[in-house]
Amino acid sequence: MYDTVKMRLIVEEGRSICPMEDIPPLLDRLTGCSQLQGSEYVSGLLGGLHITVRPHSVRVSKGSLCKWHLGDNLRTLDRITTQEAIEHLSDILHLPMDEADITRLDFGTNLIMRRPVPVYLEHLGELRYSRRTEASNGLYYWGNGKEINIYDKNRERASAGEPIPELYAGRNVLRYEIRYTKRLPKQLNRPYVTAADLYNRAFFDDMLHRWRDTYRAIQKINDRIPEFDMIRKKTDLYRLGVLLVAEAEGGQQALIGRIKRMQTEGKLTKSQAQDLRQAVNDACKLRPGLTSTSEAIEELDGKIRAAVKMY
């Protein structure tokens, strides 16, 4: 489930290894020595990992730990293989990398789906406290120091010129991951996060549940509007009216986009626009009797549940 992992290890005085002397010979494509904020450093590649070395610290500053250890990130770096990867890195660098502080963490996996990936993306709406952004190959949510990415993994690899393994060739591969990019300990309600925590059972389970719960928090967009005789209350009728307007406008996101444009043009105040967006979001929530769950979302829900049970 882990992919990109950034980490930093403080190398204390008295260790048998001297970072600036012993580690650079292990690296390829050295950038040479320079000055950065008054500190000498050397950067280079260890396989696909970018390593930055200073007199008293070593950082893994970029790169997929999963791809480095398993060969690609279509496979999943689970708790056991994560421990193997950290131990392997420690052996190469002759340093206890399990003690390194984690500064960025990507957690996710690839799901093989029955339908093309865009079909599922069409049914994923707003996420509270996040900014929803559509891109050519996926859907992204930004906010609170983390990114939620849901996209077509095969399309991403093809656009990057990377080969697609035979197991995944011609298949619909949906990637869902959360990238914790800032204030990692605070987001995870911990004083610190070390590399050893990544393969701790309780920590891994917590990450898995956060991954699942974040998906559940994304609003799901229904497939169709039900029959009028499903209306039982005045509020149901109001919501049905909003659904009809959304359908005429081209969907939930299209209607929200129009509201945003009206606010930008000064036709709506900030408070009015917020109230209208909330009304649209409330109406478009899946609700038994008013809206029907799409088969695509039912399938994706099942894949998420299965992934949680598997790991």
Map out the domains of the chain as residue ranges.
2-7+71-217, 228-292
Say how far apart CA 124 and CA 106 lie, in whole Å: 21
Sign of the CA dihedral running 182, 183, 184, 189 = negative
Say how far apart CA 107 and CA 206 lie, in whole Å: 11
Among 117-121, 215-219, 227-231, which is the least confidently predicted range? Answer: 227-231
Q: In the prediction, which pLDDT does 228 show?
A: 63
Q: In the prediction, which pLDDT does 3 show?
A: 95
Q: Does the pLDDT of residue 229 top 90, yes or no? A: no
* Closest CA relative to residue 267, chosen from 43, 276, 209: 276
Q: Does the pLDDT of residue 37 top 70, yes or no? A: no
Q: In the prediction, which pLDDT does 254 show?
A: 79
Q: In the prediction, which pLDDT does 32 show?
A: 64
Residue 277, exposed/middle/buried by CB under 10 A (0-12, 13-18, 19+)? middle
Contact partners, residue 202, CB within 8 Å, separation at least 6: none
**Bigger pLDDT: 158 vs 224:** 158
* Closest CA relative to residue 122, chosen from 254, 264, 25: 254
Q: In the prediction, which pLDDT does 292 show?
A: 59
Q: Is 253 left (phi over 0), alpha (psi -120 to 50) or beta?
A: alpha
Q: In the prediction, which pLDDT does 231 show?
A: 72
**60-108 pLDDT tens trace:** 999 999 999 999 888 889 999 999 999 999 999 999 999 999 999 999 9
Q: Helix crossing, 270-284 with 252-264: angle to 10°?
A: 180
Q: How many Cα neighbours within 13 Å face the side chain of 270? A: 0
Q: Does the pLDDT of residue 208 top 90, yes or no? A: yes
Q: What are phi and psi of 53, to 5 degrees?
A: -115, 130
Per-residue pLDDT band for 50 (boundaries 50, 70, 90) equals very high
Q: In the prediction, which pLDDT does 291 show?
A: 58
Q: What is the mean pLDDT of the chain?
A: 88
Q: Does the pLDDT of residue 289 top 60, yes or no? A: no
Alpha carbon of residue 275 to chain centroid? 29
Say how far apart CA 228 and CA 81 lie, in whole Å: 54
Residue reference for tokens 């990992």: 49
Say how far apart CA 157 and CA 277 lie, in whole Å: 35
Q: In the prediction, which pLDDT does 75 show?
A: 87
In this structure, which amino acid lies at residue 40? Answer: E
Q: Does the pLDDT of residue 286 top 70, yes or no? A: no
Q: Is 306 left (phi over 0), alpha (psi -120 to 50) or beta?
A: alpha
Among 23-27, 154-158, 194-198, 292-296, which is the least confidently predicted range? Answer: 292-296
**179-193 pLDDT tens trace:** 999 999 999 999 999
pTM: 0.81
